[in-house]
Structure formats: C-alpha cells, structure tokens
C-alpha cells in the first residue's frame, strides 16, 4: 500500500522532472521497481497515474491558451488536434507491443527483469541526450507558424515517448527547435500538447493493465493507493509542477542534452551495481 510519505516523494519527483528531458515515466518506474519492488508493468501504470497532477498544472498555467481552444479554427486548437492524432498513430502500437511482449522478452535473458528494465531506461536516456545535442540554435518561429505536416510529425515524435525512458518533453522540444521555433514557444507547445496525450495514455494504460475501484482505495495490479493519499499526491504534484514550469519559462537556455546523458549514465551504473549485488547474493 502506498503511504503518505511515499505519495509526497512521488509528487515532488513528478512535479519537477516531468518538464525535464529525462523521462519522468521512466525514472518514476525505475524508482518504484528498485525501491518498492513493484512489477515493471505495474510501475509504469502507477507512473502514468501521477501525470494527472502535472496535467492539471499545465491546464492552469496555460489556461488562456486552453480557453482559445473553444474556437476550432484557432492555431493552437488545430496544432493540438493534429499532434494528438500523430501521437495516437505511433503510441498505440508501441504500448500494445510493449505490454504484450515485455514478459516474453525478459524471460529470454539471464538478467533479472528489474535490472534489464533499469539498463534499457539508461540507454534510451543517453540516446535522447545525443539527439538533443544535435539540436540547432534557437529559432525565430512562433507556434502559429506550424504547418499541419509539422504538427503531425510533432505528434508522432511525442508518441515514441510511450516507451519508458524516452523523454516526452525532450523529444517534442527537440523537434520544435529543429523546425525553428523559439525556445519559449517550443516549451509552451510541448506542454500544451501533453494534456490530451496524458489523458489518452492514462485511460489506455488502465484498460490494459487492469484496475479496481474499492471503497477506500484505487487498486492497480497489486498496488493499493488510498484515495486520500492519491488526492494529496495529485494536488501537490500540480502545485510543484506549476512552480517548476514557471522557472523553466524564465530561463534563456536549458542544457537538455547534459541532463539526459547524465541521468542515463547514472541509471546504467545503477543497473550494473544492482546486477553485481544480485550475483553476489
């Protein structure tokens, strides 16, 4: 059962790293697997649940943009709708394959699934960092200049982040900077298109993983999350997310590639140390 202390740790972790290019889903899943001993697929589902809090922070922080979406002809509305379609095109097959073949894939390796999971996340983080290192200098384009093809490409790139360890914010911001958006509009666009992606991913994950609504708790697999702790965790995540976004939007530049490569290297080292401990024990 998730207790209050664990919920607070989750909220702090998710509220800060969701906006950094280090894959909050991957890092949270890793956190749950290594410290709490959860099954890998259950950890991914629980990590996605916490995205509800950061989704609320996006809705509040960019509330003026979301109000404009009632106008279906608005640029922000069209970009979000087309990007969401692109996300579904790539994310759906990735999630279905990941869910269907993860256990089969891990049983064919001599390495324990949790250590394999940790190592894969580290490798994907480093790959993301190397891609980010190739991004161009800040562009001059604004969000309203995005074409339908660019919005679709953006969404398809976002869908790849359905794999734990691939940073959603990292990959979308990279695409936006590559096509010439300013950093401010790249951050803004990346945050906004995350809302329908989070809603869709959470709904799909719950349907595929299985969950039950008890009188006093939400049960995901074998993980029991009491409602009162869940509410506190989501609200705290939202507040921390707003504060983190506010800080990021004020920065002139962000060393995204260093974040990814650093965290990825650290994750692989952790997997190696855990493997040694596993062999010795």
Tell me the pLDDT tens digit for each residue of 260-279: 777 778 777 877 776 776 67
| Confidence at 132, pLDDT banded by 50, 70, 90 | low
pLDDT at 39 over 80: no
Output the pLDDT for position 154: 94
Report the chain's mean pLDDT, rounded to a whole number.
Answer: 78
Output the pLDDT for position 105: 60
Report, as an integer, the average pLDDT of 11-36: 70
Output the pLDDT for position 281: 63
Residues in Cβ contact with 59 at an 8 Å cutoff, skipping those fewer than 6 apart: 66, 195
Residues in Cβ contact with 268 at an 8 Å cutoff, skipping those fewer than 6 apart: 118, 119, 122, 123, 126
| Confidence at 249, pLDDT banded by 50, 70, 90 | confident
Identity of the highest mean pLDDT range in 55-59, 123-127, 186-190: 55-59
Give me 263's structure tokens: 């965290």
Report, as an integer, the average pLDDT of 203-230: 77
Compute CA distances 231 → 4, 14, 28, 212, 226, whole Å: 11, 14, 18, 17, 9
215 vs 112 pLDDT, higher one: 215
Helix orientation angle between 227-250 and 4-17, rounded to the nearest 10 degrees: 20
pLDDT at 157 over 60: yes
Output the pLDDT for position 117: 63
Of the listed ranges 56-60, 72-76, 89-93, 194-198, the least confidently predicted one is: 72-76
Output the pLDDT for position 180: 84
Output the pLDDT for position 80: 93
Identity of the highest mean pLDDT range in 43-47, 58-62, 197-201: 58-62
DSSP letter string over 144-208? GG--HHHHHHHHHHHHHTTSTTS-HHHHHHHHHHHTTB-HHHHHHHHHHHHHHHHHHHHHHHHHH
Look at residues 162, 191, 167, 136 and name the one whose alpha carbon lies nearest to residue 259.
Answer: 167
Output the pLDDT for position 3: 78
- Contact criterion met (CB below 8 Å) for 251 and 74: no
Output the pLDDT for position 11: 84
Q: Is 262 helix (H, G, I), strand (E, B) or coil?
A: helix
Compute CA distances 168 → 4, 123, 195, 235, whole Å: 28, 16, 12, 22
pLDDT at 38 over 60: yes
Q: Give the separation between CA 240 and CA 230, rounded to whole angstroms.
A: 15
Q: What percent of the chain has pLDDT over 70?
A: 71
Cα angle 164-167-171, degrees, rounded to a multiple of 5? 135
Q: Give the separation between CA 49 and CA 57, rounded to whole angstroms.
A: 14
| Confidence at 148, pLDDT banded by 50, 70, 90 | very high
């Amino acid at each position: 059962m998730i207790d209050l202390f664990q919920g607070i740790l989750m909220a702090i972790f998710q509220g800060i790293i969701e906006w950094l290019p280090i894959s909050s889903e991957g890092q949270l899943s890793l956190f749950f697997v290594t410290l709490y001993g959860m099954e890998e697929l259950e950890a991914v589902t629980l990590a996605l649940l916490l995205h509800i809090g950061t989704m609320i922070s996006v809705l509040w922080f960019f509330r003026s943009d979301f109000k404009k979406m009632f106008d279906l002809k608005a640029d922000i509305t069209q970009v979000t709708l087309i990007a969401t379609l692109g996300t579904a095109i790539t994310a759906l097959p990735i999630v279905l394959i990941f869910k269907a073949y993860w256990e089969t894939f891990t049983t064919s390796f001599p390495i324990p699934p949790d250590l394999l999971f940790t190592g894969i996340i580290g490798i994907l983080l480093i790959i993301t960092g190397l891609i980010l290192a190739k991004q161009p200098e800040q562009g001059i384009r604004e969000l309203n200049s995005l074409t339908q093809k660019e919005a679709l490409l953006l969404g398809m790139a976002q869908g790849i982040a359905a794999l734990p360890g691939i940073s959603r914010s990292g990959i979308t911001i990279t695409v936006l900077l590559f096509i010439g958006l300013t950093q401010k509009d790249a951050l803004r666009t990346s945050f906004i298109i995350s809302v329908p992606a989070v809603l869709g991913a959470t709904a799909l994950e719950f349907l595929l993983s299985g969950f039950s609504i008890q009188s006093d708790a939400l049960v995901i697999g074998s993980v029991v999350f009491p409602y009162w702790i869940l509410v506190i965790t989501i609200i705290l995540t939202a507040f921390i997310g707003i504060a983190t976004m506010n800080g990021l939007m004020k920065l002139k530049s962000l060393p995204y590639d260093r974040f990814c490569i650093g965290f990825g290297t650290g994750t692989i080292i952790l997997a190696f140390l855990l493997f040694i401990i596993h062999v010795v024990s």
